[in-house]
Each structure stands twice: as structure tokens, then as C-alpha cells.
């Protein structure tokens, strides 16, 4: 995509780029989540509950990293879950600077109850694709989000995605 004079980056080109498409994809997902999963539990909150249900108790830093949350997001998110009785937050006795996070029975029940609806939303969003296209799309998205934070560093994931081109 180029603007007059052959230079890339015209405003019209930007409208069809990754940012607007990612925003639209997020809007569709958020709407479906609200309609079909839960109106008071966000995707990141569900991720935290699911990670705790799957992996057990962990410190706030590890949980934030596994959930792909930055520090400024993780602390208030966990506090909201604590106030709702879905997680317990305690200080690590061996290192008082660390907070340990554990899921409550109510949090576990909610994660298990909502998981089928979360999967259904994903399936609904991927419905336009063939099974091979779904695999390719998700692989490419994983690669795109696995980019390192600092420019010039190698991506964390270099696993190639399967080609959809016929072999031969």
C-alpha cells in the first residue's frame, strides 16, 4: 500500500492495517463475551482464575507473567477478584515483598462453569475458517504476540506455521 508519489503510509492505508483490525477483532470478542460468557467477569480475570485452577497457587509476578498482564494491570485486577471472594491474597512468609495468590472454591466453580462458554465464543469467532485455516490463523497470531518487548531482539517463538499451500 502506497500513497501518491510511491511512499507507503497514507492514512487510508493505515485504516486497513493491523491496529484497526485488531481493535475490531477485540470489539467482536468483547461483545460476544458480554453476551455469552459473563457480564461482570472480564477475559483477563477469567484467564487468572483458569491459570490458578490449572496450576495452583502462585506469586503475583508469576501469575501476571503467565496471564500476560503488566504490573499496573495485575494488582488492581487481583484486588477486584479478592473483593469478590474469587481469590485469596497473602504475603509470602519467606519474602514479605511477594504476594501469593490462591483461588477460592467460588473462583474455581466460576472458572469451571464459564469455560465451555469461553470455548464457544472462540469457536464462533473462528467459524468462517476451515480447520486448517484456524490452525494457521492462531499460529500466526501467537507468533505476532510473541515478539519481544525490545526492538532488535529475536521473537520468543520461531516455530513456523504450517503452510496452507498444497504440497507438490
Predicted confidence band of residue 155 (pLDDT cuts 50, 70, 90): low
- Kindly indicate the confidence band of residue 5, based on its pLDDT and cuts at 50, 70 and 90: low
CA distances to 14, 82, 106 from 20, rounded to whole Å, are 8, 34, 37
pLDDT band at 168 (very low <50, low <70, confident <90, very high): low
Q: Which range has the worst mean pLDDT, 25-29, 30-34, 94-98?
A: 94-98
Residue pLDDT, tens place only, 124-137: 999 999 999 999 99
Give the pLDDT band of residue 117 (cuts 50, 70, 90): very high
How far CA 104 is from CA of 51, 55, 134, 165, in Å, comes to 13, 14, 34, 48
pLDDT at 1 over 60: no
Amino acid at each position: 500500500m502506497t500513497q501518491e508519489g510511491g511512499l507507503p503510509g497514507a492514512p487510508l492505508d493505515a485504516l486497513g492495517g493491523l491496529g484497526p483490525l485488531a481493535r475490531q477483532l477485540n470489539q467482536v470478542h468483547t461483545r460476544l463475551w458480554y453476551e455469552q460468557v459473563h457480564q461482570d467477569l472480564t477475559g483477563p480475570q477469567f484467564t487468572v482464575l483458569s491459570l490458578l485452577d490449572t496450576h495452583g497457587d502462585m506469586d503475583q509476578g508469576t501469575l501476571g507473567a503467565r496471564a500476560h498482564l503488566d504490573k499496573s494491570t495485575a494488582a488492581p485486577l487481583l484486588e477486584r477478584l479478592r473483593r469478590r471472594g474469587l481469590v485469596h491474597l497473602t504475603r509470602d512468609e519467606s519474602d514479605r515483598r511477594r504476594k501469593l495468590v490462591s483461588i477460592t472454591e467460588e473462583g474455581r466453580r466460576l472458572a469451571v462453569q464459564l469455560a465451555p462458554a469461553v470455548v464457544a465464543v472462540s469457536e464462533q469467532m473462528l467459524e468462517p475458517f476451515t480447520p486448517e485455516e484456524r490452525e494457521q490463523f492462531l499460529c500466526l497470531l501467537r507468533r505476532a504476540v510473541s515478539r519481544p518487548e525490545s526492538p532488535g531482539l529475536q521473537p520468543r517463538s520461531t516455530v513456523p506455521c504450517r503452510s496452507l499451500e498444497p504440497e507438490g
